[in-house]
Structure formats: structure tokens, C-alpha cells
Structure 1
Amino acid sequence: MPEELSMIAGSSYIPKTRTPPKPAGEDAHFFNQTAQVIGLADGVGSWARKGVDAGKYARELMKNAEFSVFSSAPAAVDPKSVIAAAFSRTKAAGSSTACILSLAGNRLRAAYVGDSGFMVIRRGSVIFRSPAQVWGFNAPYQLEGRLREGPGRAEEMAVEVQSGDVVVAATDGLFDNLFPEDVEAVVGRCLSEGMEPQMVARELAEVAHEKSERRDIESPFSVAAAKAGCKWFGRGGKIDDITVVVAYISRALGNRCIYSHHSI
């Protein structure tokens, strides 16, 4: 019988702009402890050219996603159905990527549209990373109210996790600025210092933010730009909203959770 596991999660969000008219940025996220569900969304910034704040779409989408799992038991949550339910209720203008994760037993299920995603770290190494859904360079799949087939494009997957694993779910603000080995290094250091998930998420977001503002380094985004022949970008990180949710996978004992990270 699979071990009964639980997620202990914390998050951090650094918007790329903290001044009007968009102090809240264009990302949104939630974690529902009862349902054991993580959700992330990244509003597509190109809507700003039409005077639309895509952050409103992302926030409404995640509000509806959390509502759809409110008081649900973990085993009852189907991530793709959560995306579909949230999408059907969201009426704001705009579009967004989305990623929903659900843990039941030792099975971490996921559904996502676009380049918001997750990775699983075990004993200091990334053992799984969700591949981004993109049409091309810097062009992720997205949910948009005018395109009713949006949720049907969601990629579904499941990963068997163990007590001691660390899940890092994030928008592309993290993944465009940190290579997997960068994430491994930050998580490893934080675990060795006994940090809680929220502090680990904060450390990851801050390191990604620092790299996003540098023009003297290679980043996943600059490497992808070069491969796509986009000479306009050059070196450096990508300035963007950065959302990170970190979850420790722990043994569930009654109403308690016991986390013991693997030695690295």
C-alpha cells in the first residue's frame, strides 16, 4: 500500500513592477492545505498593448481554481478538471498560463498549460521537471476566454514522490532565470540550514530576481533566445514576475506531518 504523504508548502512572489497601475503584477497562486493542491498562473503581458491587465485574469483564474477544490479530499482532486472548472468561471479579459498540482498518497498529479510548471528534487538532484508547452520561443500555450478549447490542451502527468522530496512549482520568472543546477544549489543550502518551505521559496525568488536584472550572465532565457536566433536579446536574465511555491513531501501521521530531508 502506498505511503500516505502530505505537502507542507510556502510561497514567495516578486512582481516585476510594484507601482501603479499594476502593483500586483500578473502572476497569481494558491495552496490549499486540506485538498493538498497548488495552483499557479501567469497572465500574458502582451495584453497590456490593448489596455488589459492580464494579472486580473490570472488572479480570477486562481481564485476560481481554489474555489473548485475548497474542502475537497486530496484523492478527489483531478488537476485537469480543476483547470477546466476555473477556466469556465473566469470572465475577465486576458489570458494566462496555468499549473495545478495535487498530492494523494504518494502520487503527485499535475496538469498545466504553458510554461508555468514544477520540478521534484530528491537527495539534492532534480529527478523530474515538467516540459514547457510552447508554440515557439517566448510563446507559451495559454488559456484565453475566446478560445474555448484551452483546457483541452492541458498536459497531464503523475510522479511518484517520497518523504523528503522537495517540489518547486513556479512561473517562468523562475525557470527563465535559474538553471536546474541553480535551483538544486539553493534548495540544498536552504535544507542544510533547516529553512521552512516559505523561506526556501523566498530564497529562490530572490536569487532569480537578482539574476533577472543582470546582463553579464547566461540564463535559460538567453540560451533559448540564442537557439531561436533572437539576436536582439543577447546575454542576461529576463525581468519578469516571479512566483515560487516550495512544498516539502512529508509522512502524514494522523493530523501531523513529519518531514525528514534526504542526506545529499
Structure 2
Amino acid sequence: MAALRQRSLTCAIGARSFAAEPRRLRLSLGAGCIPKVDGQKGEDAFFASLPISAFGLADGVGGWADRGVDAGLFSRALLHRALESMRQRASAMQRPDLPGVALEAFQAVREKSLEGSCTLLLGQLQQDVISLLNLGDCGIMALRPCSILPRFHGGTVTTSMRLLYRSTPMLHRANMPLQLSSQDPDVSSLTEYFDLVTLKLRRGDVLIAGTDGLFDNIGDLELKSLALAHHESRTASSAGSTQDLANALLARAAEVARAPMEFGPGGKLDDIAVVLAEVQDSSPVSPAGLLSNLVQAEE
């Protein structure tokens, strides 16, 4: 009996040690933005940093234009400061602290006396766990390729995309998302209301993040279908990069946004910003790998 207990204890310790070892992963990133007015920067801001496997999105509130204020300056300044803070933490080998990053960035923008307001989405991967902070109606969905076995022997194994996580909009009322604003008397709009989620990822998982210009014009089923087609083409021939899928999503959302309503759903003209992330095994990454529309942050 004692020998049996000892063997069971050894097996339990071994299983626990195996489960506790995180896998080192990284994000392959693609990103872009299509403003609703050609030739302008728009109010949406984004960054995607390969070296620190991090990204951010901010949707400036266009209503400020009635006061002669470019809300895009506010959203880009906020993300610029957030990116700097995330880089500093990564250099110091600190664990991701997205609430702390967001708070520092918001306070820094308030000190600049910039007028405007925006929503905010931040994400950062450490080993095999991604942290996601969201405030407002930017969205993100996490998809995992999975094999569907045939019902009968000799049938074909197919692949589908399983939904791991889907954020939900945080709204005061229709078309009025929670947001960070220069008119806030304090920082309670951030510290009390954001969503903070962590997900354990695997190689092959796909993250689709975007401002509401993406999700208002492309439904979740179509996004899953486009991601699946990309995954299958990569599996079959290694063709198509992460940026290719990001570009495809941008083009499709822009097409629907400009289509007359009678030809299908959507038709909501808006700035569209997208960050696409594919989870891969860890490997050396160029220290200059940054995609963004943050002029001050470009390398």
C-alpha cells in the first residue's frame, strides 16, 4: 500500500510539473487602417509591435469635429504613450500590466491638454498567455483551428475555426461607447470599467482585432470564414502572410461600408483599423518590427 501511494504521488508530481511549463510563443502581426475620407488620417489609431508581441487600437470619437477638434490626435497620442510604456516594461523583463499601461498613457495625454476622446483595446502576449484590456466598442475575437473527424471510416477530415473568445461592446447607449475623454474629471472611467481577460493560446491560433468600422461591416461568421480560408491556404502551400489576411479584412470591410444598403448588410461608413495576429513558436524577431499609424512612434 505504501509503495502504491508513493507511485501515485510521483505520477501526480510529474503531471503537475508538465502542466506548469508554459510554452514560448510569439505573435506574427499584420495591421492597417483605411480612413473613411481619402487623403486624411482619420480618428482610428493602431500599433502592432513584433519584438514585444503587443498591439493596440483606439477609435477617436468623430463628434469632436463639430468643435473643430481632431480626435485622431488624442487616440494616436494615447497609443503612442501606451506603446512606450509597454516597451519599457518589456525591457525591464516585467510581466504585462495592461491596466497600469493604460492608466499611465491616459494620465500622460491628460497632462498634454489634448482635447478628444477614444475607446481603447490593448493586447500583449507573454509566453503562451495573452492579456487583453478593452474599454468601449473596439472588438477582438480569438479563433482556434480544429479538425472535424468524419462520421464514417475513410471519410475526409475537415478543418473549422472554433471561437475561443469574443469581446462584447461596452456602451452607454446605441452608438455611444464607453470612452476615455479629455473632459473626464478624473481617471475613474478607465480604472472602474475596463474589461481585462487572459487567454492561454496555442500555435496556430488567430486573433482578429479591430475598431467598430471592422465589426459593424463584417459579421463574425464571415470573419471566421476568411480566417479559415487563410489558414487552409497556409497549410496547403505556405502562401499568404499575416499581413495579407489583415489587408483582405480591411478591403472587405471598406467594400461593405461603401455598398448601398439594398445590396447587403453593413453600409456603415467609418474609419477601419485592423490588427491581425497569428500565434507561432518563438523565434528571433527584428528589434525594428513595428506597424503603426503613430507618426511619433515610427522607427
- Equivalent residue letter for 1:16: K
Helix, strand or coil at the partner of 1:72: helix
Helix, strand or coil at the partner of 1:49: helix
Instruction: Check if 1:2 corresponds to 2:27.
Output: no
Contact 2:26 2:53 in 1 (8 A): yes
Instruction: Check if 1:117 corresponds to 2:126.
Output: no
Q: Which residue of 2 aligns with 1:213?
A: 258
Q: CA RMSD in A?
A: 1.7
Aligned counterpart for 1:129 among listed residues 143, 163, 166 = 166
Instruction: Check if 1:31 corresponds to 2:31.
Output: no
Structure 2 distance, partners of 1:216, 1:191, is 32
Helix, strand or coil at the partner of 1:198: helix
Structure 2 distance, partners of 1:18, 1:122, is 35
Provide structure 1 residue ranges, at least 5 long, that are not aligned to the other structure: 220-235, 257-264
Larger radius of gyration: 2
When the two structures are aligned, how many residues end up with a matched partner? 237
Contact 1:80 1:112 in 2 (8 A): no
Q: Deviations over 1:116-174 (max 9, x none)?
A: 12111111233211111111211100001221222212111111111100111111110
Contact 2:96 2:131 in 1 (8 A): no
Q: Which residue of 2 aligns with 1:72?
A: 89
Structure 2 distance, partners of 1:39, 1:180, is 20
Aligned counterpart for 1:62 among listed residues 79, 83, 87 = 79
Structure 2 distance, partners of 1:195, 1:81, is 36
Q: Which residue of 2 aligns with 1:150?
A: 189
Q: Deviations over 1:82-137 (max 9, x none)?
A: 11111111132100001000111211111111011211111123321111111121
Q: Deviations over 1:47-93 (max 9, x none)?
A: 11111111111111111111111243375221121111111111321
Q: Which residue of 1 aligns with 2:105?
A: 86
Structure 2 distance, partners of 1:240, 1:164, is 31
* Range moving further from structure 2, 92-101 or 28-37: 28-37
Instruction: Check if 1:42 corresponds to 2:81.
Output: no
TM-score normalised over the length of structure 1: 0.85
Q: Which residue of 2 aligns with 1:226?
A: none
Q: Deviations over 1:208-227 (max 9, x none)?
A: 111111212554xxxxxxxx
Q: Deviations over 1:172-198 (max 9, x none)?
A: 110111111110111122233331111
Aligned counterpart for 2:273 among listed residues 214, 219, 243 = 243
Relative to structure 1, the CA distance from residue 104 to residue 40 in structure 2 (aligned partners, 3 Å threshold; closer, same or farther) is same
Report which of the two has the higher share of helix. Answer: 2
Q: Percent identity?
A: 32
TM-score normalised over the length of structure 2: 0.75
- Equivalent residue letter for 1:10: G
Contact 2:136 2:179 in 1 (8 A): yes
Structure 2 distance, partners of 1:50, 1:70, is 34
Aligned counterpart for 2:207 among listed residues 167, 173, 177 = 167
